[in-house]
Structure 1
């Protein structure tokens, strides 16, 4: 990565220098306030120092002149690649075998009438314990039924049992009862685009006067993206670097109906970033907190993120990139495990179209649509 230091009289001015020099893909690695020496130790001048960098894709490894070394490296690389392929194939075969054994064991426990529904739940990667819970209830119903149930009737019963598991969890988008909409989430989940979709609905359907606050000062591209959406919605946007900036932005937007807060996308598996966020913004007073997760992520990683944000009063989750996967069981698993509701799920990049306000009904239907969704 190419690194460079920039100094300016203000942080926004420093950010402009970074953008002009390195472009929108620049990444801020550190920033601090510095003071220059004044006359007789007095009249010190305050300035801002930023270190930024950009990945250099055009850097190539140096070529060696020795033919022997080149041949040796090629041979070692080929051996390494071949070994890696063998290991990956063995792991894939093992996973298939385990899934097959799990499916067979579930099918053995229950009558044939339930096999289609059970396989559908397994295919969607619903937690095995939840599958057993649903299947036990279905078995009791089928056993006590005087008539043979059709596959459609069995699926309807399975949907009803799934609804029981989700009962009591909150569904639906912004309540419009609180002024600040705080959107949290790790990097790469499509958080800024999701905020734009939510904001567009607030403006176009609810006729609300809105504003944006972003704390994502680490990525130039993220700031420019939010500014673009703000211009389209004719909404003001404030970039905040510290607690004082945040307080000033709140005062500036005092007369607006709704304020969307785009927090920095960071690796929130590290508790340090959670604490930094807690110190920067108010997540309790007159705030609705939403946690954004990507359906393309591993369920275990999403669970880790949720656990890191348990200190925040997050009632509802938002899942993005539903269109990029054929299985959404992890969505159900996490909601049930952590007792979190669902506000929205997104299924594309178009703003504001590709977002759905969640309800229990449409989530269950989405699950049973499977590959046809």
Structure 2
């Protein structure tokens, strides 16, 4: 059954902008009003020639009914009731305090979400929110984009959804950071870390083949490459790499300890350009395993780059945990695998932006070495679901110079 909330006669609020009018209304009435009409008004008459335009919002006040939820009455003072409850129950139970705080936070979150759905939100913003949600961007990322729309788009521009959509695609692209993967000095150690099942070993093989085939300036041949694995946990891990190594004529060695690793690096550093290190897949909650692996990878003498390998289909909360826990390895950027297994890249874009991390490579298949490419903003943008992408425009805006 629809709720019939009575309205008072219409009134008008004036301001410098639509946002200014709404801000004034909320400061006076909270959410107890409904917008009927919004207009941009030109100055009246000849003497208005040098005056600024202003905005008028015609609105009606609502007469809110008493809140019927007995758990959250209209005049509910949460902190006051919390103190009374704790005093009546001994006052020192930390679990009860935690539960009450969580209830308070939940109530605040619901209020924010309800406010976000106010009827005055322009249709373009509503549509953009839905597109971003469909692509699984995080709520905080979506809010950042919506805030930018409100700040940068005029009322006329908000009426042109194609304009707003194109601007949003540009803004998303600007939040995607990539890194250069060229090297100025050799030997170079490249270490891949990450959780189980994301495709580290296959990515190591792809990079090995890529560098072995890469023609150096002034040289007819590719880079001299070696592979080291420290994965003694997964059955067949070394054998899998050795199979790739035989096909590419690249030696593969096993390091079971920090001493083994240092000996191999010392041996290879004299006549090798690229040393690729494959590691054991570890859950971000396996703190002991991560610490042991960090000890083996404590490489001090040679230039080292660490890449965190993650799957493109990882949900945002898990991705946030992985990126946080793997910080102990000092990774500088990501290799995003399995790009062909999802249409929703919002999670990876959101958390990369949240953690201020860049992407180095994308992989999208099992073929060695072909299914690996340098990370670009364009590749992520063209994979956005249901967005209308101006490919010529984003190629011109984001295509990097000298891409590998």
The TM-score with structure 2 as length reference comes to 0.61
User: How far apart in 2 are the matches of 1:296 and 1:158?
Assistant: 22
The answer for the alignment partner of 1:180 in structure 2 is: 189
User: How far apart in 1 are the matches of 2:244 and 2:118?
Assistant: 51
Q: Is the 8 A contact 1:327 1:370 kept in 2?
A: no
The answer for the alignment partner of 1:253 in structure 2 is: 268
Report the RMSD for the aligned CA atoms in angstroms. 3.0
Secondary structure (helix, strand or coil) at the match of 1:314 reads coil
The answer for the alignment partner of 1:210 in structure 2 is: 225
The alpha-carbon deviation at position 146 of structure 1 amounts to: 6.6
Matching residue within 154, 157, 179 for 2:167: 157
Matched, 1:220 2:220: no
Matching residue within 278, 294, 297 for 1:262: 278
Q: Is the 8 A contact 1:113 1:154 kept in 2?
A: yes
User: How far apart in 1 are the matches of 2:210 and 2:388?
Assistant: 28
> What is the correspondence of 1:267-278 to structure 2 with a 5 Å cutoff?
267-278=283-294
Q: Taking structure 1 as reference, are residues 356 and 117 closer, same or farther at Cα in structure 2, changes over 3 Å only?
A: farther
Q: Taking structure 1 as reference, are residues 370 and 158 closer, same or farther at Cα in structure 2, changes over 3 Å only?
A: closer
The alpha-carbon deviation at position 145 of structure 1 amounts to: 4.0
The answer for the alignment partner of 1:296 in structure 2 is: 313
Superposed CA deviations along residues 51-77 of structure 1, whole A, max 9, x for unmatched, are xxxxxxxxxxxxxxxxxxxxxxxxxxx
The alpha-carbon deviation at position 177 of structure 1 amounts to: 4.5
| Structure with greater helix percent | 1
The answer for the alignment partner of 1:31 in structure 2 is: none
Q: Is the 8 A contact 1:344 1:355 kept in 2?
A: yes
Gaps of 5+ in 2: 1-108, 216-221, 390-404
Q: Is the 8 A contact 2:169 2:381 kept in 1?
A: yes
User: How far apart in 1 are the matches of 2:129 and 2:379?
Assistant: 20
User: How far apart in 2 are the matches of 1:199 and 1:321?
Assistant: 18
The answer for the alignment partner of 1:279 in structure 2 is: 295
The alpha-carbon deviation at position 156 of structure 1 amounts to: 1.5
The TM-score with structure 1 as length reference comes to 0.65
Secondary structure (helix, strand or coil) at the match of 2:329 reads coil
Superposed CA deviations along residues 72-109 of structure 1, whole A, max 9, x for unmatched, are xxxxxxxxxxxxxxxxxxxxxxxxxx9xx969955845
Superposed CA deviations along residues 240-260 of structure 1, whole A, max 9, x for unmatched, are 111222122112212110000
Matched, 1:308 2:308: no
User: How far apart in 1 are the matches of 2:388 and 2:202?
Assistant: 25
Q: Is the 8 A contact 1:283 1:289 kept in 2?
A: no
The alpha-carbon deviation at position 362 of structure 1 amounts to: 2.5
> What is the correspondence of 1:11-160 to structure 2 with a 5 Å cutoff?
105=116, 108=119, 110-145=121-156, 148-151=159-162, 153-160=163-170
The alpha-carbon deviation at position 144 of structure 1 amounts to: 4.8
Q: Taking structure 1 as reference, are residues 194 and 147 closer, same or farther at Cα in structure 2, changes over 3 Å only?
A: closer
Matched, 1:365 2:400: no
Matched, 1:189 2:198: yes
Q: Is the 8 A contact 2:314 2:347 kept in 1?
A: no
